[in-house]
């Protein structure tokens, strides 16, 4: 007897250019809800103090500890998700910057090639003119 709360978080996969759903399942024990509902319906005496229910209080304490543990785990998962998002963003930036660096290096090599080719053609045409004159 438990209720599942499901949350989908979409993370962008920069390597394959697609969104990946990450399923996060939060389990909440139905018994916790029933105990809390019972606690809300407990009668109060004239002083505003709840009647003593030792069994229910010990159950509530254990359930509260379980809830705190799950809350801590949820926070850890959220931190991991945020860290993963940052890592993917950095990876995407590195990939783009390396792509830009490669493009820039390619353009520089092309310019160098064209200037050397033009210089070679100019030298070749000069040498052919000199041979014609001789």
Q: Is residue 108 over pLDDT 80? A: yes
Give the confidence band of 42 by pLDDT, cuts at 50, 70, 90. Answer: low
CA within 13 Å, CB half, 103: 6
What is the reported pLDDT for 96? Answer: 66
What is the reported pLDDT for 77? Answer: 80
In DSSP terms, 11 is beta-bridged to 20
Cβ atoms of 25 and 18 within 8 Å: the answer is no
Q: What is the pTM of this model?
A: 0.36
Tokens of 79: 């931190």
Give the confidence band of 75 by pLDDT, cuts at 50, 70, 90. Answer: confident
């Amino acid at each position: 007897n438990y209720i599942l709360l499901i949350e989908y978080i979409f993370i962008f996969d920069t390597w394959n250019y697609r969104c990946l759903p990450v399923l996060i399942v939060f389990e909440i024990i139905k018994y916790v809800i029933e105990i809390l509902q019972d606690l809300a319906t407990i009668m109060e005496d004239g002083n505003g103090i709840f009647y003593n229910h030792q069994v229910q209080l010990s159950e509530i304490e254990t359930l509260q500890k379980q809830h705190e543990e799950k809350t801590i785990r949820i926070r850890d998962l959220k931190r991991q998700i945020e860290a993963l998002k940052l890592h993917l963003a950095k990876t995407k930036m590195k990939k783009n910057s390396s792509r830009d660096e490669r493009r820039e290096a390619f353009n520089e090599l092309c310019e160098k090639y064209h200037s050397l080719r033009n210089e070679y053609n100019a030298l070749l045409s000069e040498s052919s003119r000199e041979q014609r004159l001789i």
